[in-house]
Structure 1
Amino acid sequence: MLALAVLLAAAGALLGPLSRPARAEETSKLMLVLDSSGSMAQKSQGEVKIDAARKALTQTVGSLPASVNVGFRVFGATVFNAGDKGACTDSQLKVPVGTDNQGQLDAAIKAVKPYGETPIGYALQQAAKDLGSSGKRTIVLVTDGESTCKPDPCDVASTLTRSGTGLAIDVIGLNVDGSAQSQLKCIASRGKGSYYDAADAETLANSLQTLVQRSRRNFQVGGTPVVGSAAPAQAPVITAGEYNDELPPTGAGDLRWYHLYRNIVGSTLHVSASINRLGRPDAVALEVRTPSGQLCATSSAFRADAFGSNLLSAAVSVGPRAGKAPVAACTSSNDLLVAVRHADRVDGTPVYGGKQTDQVSLQVIEERPVSGVAGLPKPATAGKFVPQFGGSTKPVVGGSSFDDAPTLGQGAYSSNLVPGETQVFLVKQTWGQSVDATLTFPGASGKLASQLGNGQVRANITMFSPNRGPATTNAGGQENVLTKERLVLGLSSTPVRYLNRSQDVTRASSYLPGSYAVVVSLSADPQNQNYVVPYLLNLDVRGRSSGAPDYVANPTPAPAPPSPTPVPAPGSRSGGVTTGTVIGIVVAVAVLLGAGVTAVIVRRRRRRGDAAAG
């Protein structure tokens, strides 16, 4: 139950290198949704579930500042049997979203009693209405089982969060397993949120406090929703920007196609597809082809175990100097086809795949041509990793994805992780620079030492470049078992050089300046324990700005792409027009990189990402 409280508390064309729009500040709103079905009268770890939930919720509410916008809704509280009228619409708003309402929340939480059915889908629909349609909004669902009513809560979560307007659904499962746990993880995955297991009042409270803290992060609008087609001929038009879609489970008809158009003749296109695997074995693959079918580039990312970062990202670059032997047709063609698959390869029979529908984030960066490469620094490899310690630390809260990660400067930072959590931070680098990132777990004593004693939780640190490809080529230990003893992990990135793109991108993808993502994570505890693990993160940006390429001042515009292709609305790929159809290129932003060097222009779609995000 401590887990629950911690969870709540925590609850375009690119004409030069990557840049991000400023984050739009919004007041966040939080809706706590509690299961009041009959099964909540059962015991877990010797304590009645509803008693544990009331205790954790009361503790969480008491820890919130009076200025936090929070409300409370229950479901399954008034209709006893599934066959009775109103059983599947049995959900009540007990406390509307507002500030300075702790007394009302305490009274409503205390009055909850276990009684009826489990209409999770309907309760989520109503909670979304309670929160309104603007700003950052978070639903935290606390339940002990799967839904007993239609609509399917996974489909509901997908529909509610497809608009990209700032709603996330976090889920805490009370002593669940099997199909119930699978459904709750599905709700969190499609709801762009996090899932936590809680076995007792302590882990429930811990999870709640974590989610509430995360829910109070600043908000920025996400990418444009788009629905990829199952065949190339119907692929929706995209250009430089960021988009979100859904990938179906691995199987027949699982490819998603997009028709990508250049805005600049001879530009380099950096394309990526990223998913959050939520601690499951999973995979994502991406390839780019010419309209005639010639392969330009392919990439995949997969993990066969439950360890490591939850972020999987496949990235490719297509342009005059991308890769060891760029395909001429791929560089000259003004339109290309992008295929994404929920597997470790686009073609053929996969070894690894996804068993559920997942949200996928698509990013396209378009980089204008350079006038020449003579005199540019040769391709680089990472230097020796030098651990960094000490310094005055600043507390920080990491993002859960590339899109909501805060940007950090050089220095020392403190934060915490819970098992199964991944946090993302951005560090800006320009030409010639690299980053040393040191992750230190200072050691544990008391109860935490006992909880870590089984040695089955792994800590991990990794790094992604602005194109969301792997940026690390020299590690000082990226992953290891976390115990009560002090643990130091770290890595060094390759210095940012234009000609790094001529290397195998699996060895070096540090060829764009911009925001590099440092990702830290803990694997889930196999015994479903939930606890808070403090850590220190030291960041050292090395080198001075040097080696910037000379971009063509007036590149040739490509012919205008066709109008966006009508695509099926979410949940129905057979007809209708989605509101997420690509709608054009956004703001042009001038960025100066380095001291007195090239001014580069960036056209990007407005997206979630910078705080002050990969």
Structure 2
Amino acid sequence: MSRFFATSTALAAAVALTIASTVTAAASPATSEAPELVVVLDSSGSMAETDAGNGQTRMDAAKQAVTDLATSTPDTTRIGLRTYGDGVDSQAPGSCEDTTLRVPVGPVDRDALTTQVDDLTPRGDTPIGTALLAAATDFTGTGPQSVVLVSDGEPTCDPDPCPVAAQLADQGIDLRIDVIGLLVDDAARDVLQCIADAGNGTYVDATDAAELTTALDTSARRSFRGYVTTGEPVEGTPTSEGAPTVGPGQYLDTIPVSGTNHYLVDLPPGQSLHVGATIVRAPGAERGGVSGFLIMATYDPLTGDRCFLEQGGTAVGPTPLTGALLHGPSDEVGGGLDAGCDGVGTVLLEVDWRSAGSEGDDHPLELLIQTEDAVRGAPAEVTPVADRDEVYPALEPVEPSGTVQGSGDFATAPLLTPGAYEDGLRKGETSYYAIEVGWGQQLAVRADFPESADGSELDQLLGRQTITNLAVYNPVRKSVAPFGDSSSPLEFVDRNGGSLWSTTHPVAWTNRGETVYPEQRHVARPGTYYVQLTVQRDSTSSDELAGTIPVQLTVDLLGEETAGPDYATTSEVDEPSSSTQASTPASASPAAEPTAVDPSEPAQLEAAAASADSGLGALLPVLVGVAALLLIVLVGLMAFGVVSTRRRPTGEG
């Protein structure tokens, strides 16, 4: 007997009792702490050397860089300053423990940063390992943590900082250590490069105050563009047994590499279910390779019948892995596997991460649950379906209307209106932007990278070719950029510049009936759509932090917004349901953010479905209960005992 059916008796009873372990997300999901940065600044005796240009000492260059950072950093950023080598003379007792937290981590305190750095006098040794260990304790939150180490030489004290950086990374801390070498020799560069590699960061050289300022600003901006996970805590289960019930909202869980999570979702009769999943990859995952793909499926928890299944695409580079699923009445939603799922009041949701390799331990998983009421009238009369074969032209470039700084995640993406914006990304960065899209409208996006003169700083930064990617996501973060001539999502940018663009299908309720193209099926309701822009990290470049690659982002809404369908209330739909979860009409819920990923063809979906275990199963008799409700459950289970040839959730033997 399969594990699924071995546990179905207990599960059925729990479903009939409306499952006491229900979790309901708050209207505004709890958000993990914002990214934090600690600048670790070398103030050892060698920083008094006057070789930083224009008669400046190395310490003068460092002071200028930190002052400029304090001036340009947004008010909402959280930053601290730690120094070493400025409190005790070289080789004096205590010189190898000489490190001080000058400015505690918190909202940027410009006066404190400039005052503290101005007071520094270089004098001591270089206890880098000790300073890194101390910096790891300076953070106050639970979000992404970054250290930027600025040093002009090798360590002169134990412990060895390279093993220290590796130790911190191995502890599972969401920590990144970037290193800037100021006028270093080859031996020092090797040590500092080792620290960056071990700390999931990047190393860059600086030879004067200007280069140090640019490198520090670039590294700081990278740290504040980290992905901040968001959601109400929940713990999915590796099998269907004991799966928690989740209602509409956004949840935060973890998922093991090549693991599977299960959840139960109450679904009132006639409603559709929109689910999105986002797996945030561990620090250093952006160094190369793909992260596998997601298979998401829904089941009838009483029979084991699979209802809907969708496969998400791979994530290459620094982007999260995302997937989405649409579950609804079989006469409305394309891609269903079993019409017998119609009317199921509680569905079992399965999130299955098929990893292409090992990427460490558990990874954060954002789970987004949205429900949508039934509509009045026949589906064909609600909205016209989009033409899957129509080609949508690219936007024409226009003069920028302003600047914008994209965020590092979906939840905090800046909300744009139609127009052209200037931004900049460093190699290895992904940036997010949001825009509201209404019924009948299309989202058109274009990203343009400028030309650069031969031998210029930008030309050197780009190298021979730099890979860039553009993706568009619906309100549950499903990739909805059409294939073919309506989208150019990848570009190799060089000194000649380059452009990426995409135009979605018009938002139409009837799009959900599409059976072949998931990117059209998921443009089936309005709300907050997302643009994701990525500049891939080079595999060999050692100066990726040396500058920002400018980009112009143009967004527009094509077509007039229409009224959309007429939603029915839950009470208007016949057929009782055990669900107690209130419904959320899609037209009134653009706030809960969503997912994305490249959709796959039906053949791939069927192959994935075939790969799932299937077999015969029968329920063991249930002992006679003492409550009327348990008797009802018993009757249902006994009737189900004769059902055979049932498929079961992936990964259950």
Q: Shared topology, TM-score over 0.5?
A: yes
2:243 matched to which residue of 1? 235
Aligned to 2:392: 384
Question: Counterparts of 1:428 and 1:416 in 2: how far apart (Å)?
Answer: 23
Answer yes or no: is 1:184 the counterpart of 2:187: no
Q: In structure 1, what is the Cα distance between the partners aligned to 2:351 and 2:86?
A: 43
Listed as ranges, the matches of 1:108-119 within 5 Å are 108=120, 113-115=125-127, 117-118=129-130
Correspondence for 1:521? 534
> Structure 1 pair 172/434, CA: closer, same or farther in 2 (3 Å)?
same
User: Could you tell me which residue of structure 2 aligns to residue 15 of structure 1?
Assistant: none
Give 1:336's match in structure 2, choosing from 338, 347, 362. 347
Q: Aligned with 2:241: secondary structure?
A: helix
SS in 2 for 1:472: coil
The separation in 2 between residues aligned to 1:37 and 1:296, in whole angstroms, is 63
Which structure has more RCO (C-alpha within 8 Å, separation ≥ 6)?
Answer: 1
Residue 530 of structure 2 aligns with an amino acid whose one-letter code is: A
Query: What is the TM-score with the length of structure 2 in the denominator?
Result: 0.66
Q: Is the 8 A contact 2:434 2:529 kept in 1?
A: yes
From the superposition, tell whether residues 302 and 219 of structure 1 become closer, same or farther in structure 2 (CA, over 3 Å): closer
Alignment pair present for 1:543 and 2:559:
yes
Separation (CA, whole Å) in 2 of partners of 1:116 and 1:63: 22
Larger radius of gyration: 2
1:541 Cα offset (Å): 0.7
- In structure 2, relative to structure 1, the CA distance for the partners of 1:110 and 1:304 (3 Å cut) is same
Task: Name the SS of the counterpart of 1:337 in structure 2.
Answer: strand
Partner SS, residue 105 of structure 1 = helix
Contact 1:260 1:335 in 2 (8 A): yes
Equivalents in 2 of 1:338, 1:385: separation in Å?
Answer: 38
1:311 Cα deviation (Å)?
A: 3.3
2:268 to 264, 271, 296: 264
Q: Alpha carbons of 1:147 and 1:109: their partners in 2 closer, same or farther (altered >3 Å)? A: farther
Which residue in 2 is equivalent to 1:602? 589
Q: How far 1:274 moved relative to its partner? A: 1.4
Deviation at residue 146 of structure 1 after TM alignment: 4.4
Residue 423 (structure 1) aligned to one of 414, 422, 431: 431
Amino acid at match of 2:542: N
Alignment of 1:432-447 (within 5 A): 432-445=440-453, 446-447=455-456
Per-residue Cα deviation, 1:232-272 (whole angstroms, up to 9, x for no partner): 2133332211122233233xxx32x2323225333211112
Distance 1:417 1:219 in 2: 15
Matching residue's letter, 2:399: G
CA drift at 1:211: 4.9
Match of 1:559 in 2: 578
1:249 aligns with 257
Q: Structure 1 counterpart of 2:364, which letter?
A: Q
The answer on 1:103 being equivalent to 2:110 is no
Aligned to 1:369: 374
- Asked whether the 8 Å contact 1:498–1:549 carries over to 2, the reply is yes
Task: Choose which of 448, 471, 478 in structure 1 pairs with 2:489.
Answer: 478
Q: Is the 8 A contact 2:63 2:117 kept in 1?
A: no
SS in 2 for 1:297: strand
Amino acid at match of 2:277: A
1:398 deviation in Å? Answer: 0.4
Structure 2 matches for 1:189-588, cutoff 5 A?
195-200=201-206, 205-213=213-221, 222-250=230-258, 254-255=259-260, 257-277=261-281, 278-279=285-286, 280-281=288-289, 282-290=291-299, 291=301, 292-303=303-314, 306=317, 310-320=319-329, 321-325=332-336, 327-343=338-354, 351=356, 354-355=359-360, 357-372=362-377, 373-375=379-381, 376-381=383-388, 383-445=391-453, 446-452=455-461, 454-473=463-482, 474-503=485-514, 504-508=516-520, 509-525=522-538, 526-530=540-544, 531-546=547-562, 548-555=564-571, 558-560=577-579
Once residues 363 and 121 of structure 2 are traced to their aligned partners in structure 1, the CA distance between those partners, rounded to angstroms, is 33
Alpha-carbon distance between aligned partners in 2 of 1:534 and 1:603, rounded to the nearest angstrom: 30
Asked if the contact 2:441–2:559 (Cα under 8 Å) also holds between the matched residues in 1, the reply is yes
How far off is 1:91 after superposition? 6.1
Aligned residues: 509
Distance 2:86 2:594 in 1: 37
Q: Verify the 8 A CA contact 1:121 1:150 in the aligned structure 2.
A: no
Q: Alpha-carbon deviation of 1:463?
A: 0.8
Following the alignment from structure 2 to structure 1, what is the Cα–Cα distance between the partners of residues 308 and 268?
Answer: 19
Deviation at 1:301, TM superposition (A): 3.7
From the superposition, tell whether residues 537 and 117 of structure 1 become closer, same or farther in structure 2 (CA, over 3 Å): closer
User: Kindly tell me: are residues 498 and 35 of structure 1, through their superposed partners in 2, closer, same or farther at Cα, counting changes over 3 Å?
Assistant: same
Q: How do 1:7-156 and structure 2 match up within 5 A?
A: 31-34=37-40, 55=61, 58-65=64-71, 68=75, 70-74=79-83, 92-96=100-104, 97=106, 98-101=109-112, 102-108=114-120, 113-115=125-127, 117-118=129-130, 120=132, 123-128=135-140, 139-142=146-149, 146-148=162-164, 152-153=168-169, 155=171
Please tell me the residue identity of whatever aligns with 1:448: E
Q: Cα offset for 1:313?
A: 1.1
> Which residue is 1:163 aligned to?
none
TM superposition shift of 1:414: 0.6
Instruction: Quote the Cα distance in structure 2 between the aligned partners of 1:90 and 1:357.
Output: 36
Query: Is the partner of 2:456 in helix, strand or coil?
Result: helix
Question: In structure 2, the residue corresponding to 1:286 is in which secondary structure?
Answer: strand
What is the CA–CA distance in structure 1 between the aligned matches of 2:270 and 2:435, rounded to whole Å?
29
Distance 2:277 2:509 in 1: 22
* Distance of 2:67 and 2:171 partners within structure 1: 30
The Cα RMSD (Å) is 4.6
Q: CA deviation at 1:56?
A: 5.4
Distance 1:171 1:276, change over 3 A: farther
Distance 2:367 2:95 in 1: 41
Partner of 1:172: 178
Code of the aligned partner of 2:536: S
Structure 1 runs not aligned, ≥5 long: 1-19, 159-168, 186-194, 345-350, 562-583, 592-599, 610-614
User: Helix, strand or coil: the match of 2:269?
Assistant: coil
**Structure 2 letter corresponding to 1:288:** A
What residue in structure 2 maps to residue 566 of structure 1?
none
Q: Whole-Å Cα distance in 2 between the matches of residues 85 and 228 of structure 1? A: 50
State the SS of the aligned residue for 1:404: coil
Q: For residue 307 of structure 2, what is the amino acid of its counterpart?
A: C
SS in 1 for 2:138: helix
Q: Which amino acid aligns with 1:522?
A: V
Name the CA distance, whole Å, in 2 between partners of 1:53 and 1:269.
Answer: 59
Question: Which residues of structure 2 form unaligned runs of 5+?
Answer: 1-25, 152-160, 181-188, 596-653
Aligned partner of 1:126: which letter?
Answer: D
Higher strand residue share: 1
Kindly provide the CA deviation profile for residues 153-181 of structure 1, in whole angstroms up to 9, marking residues without a partner as x: 454635xxxxxxxxxx5542456899865
Kindly state the Cα deviation for residue 517 of structure 1 after the two structures are TM-superposed: 0.9
Pick closer, same or farther for the CA change 1:137–1:355 going to 2, 3 Å: closer
Deviations 1:468-522 (A, max 9, x none): 1111115442212111113222111111111111223534221121111111111
Q: Is the 8 A contact 1:240 1:604 kept in 2?
A: no
Determine if contact 1:141/1:172 at 8 Å carries over to the other structure. yes
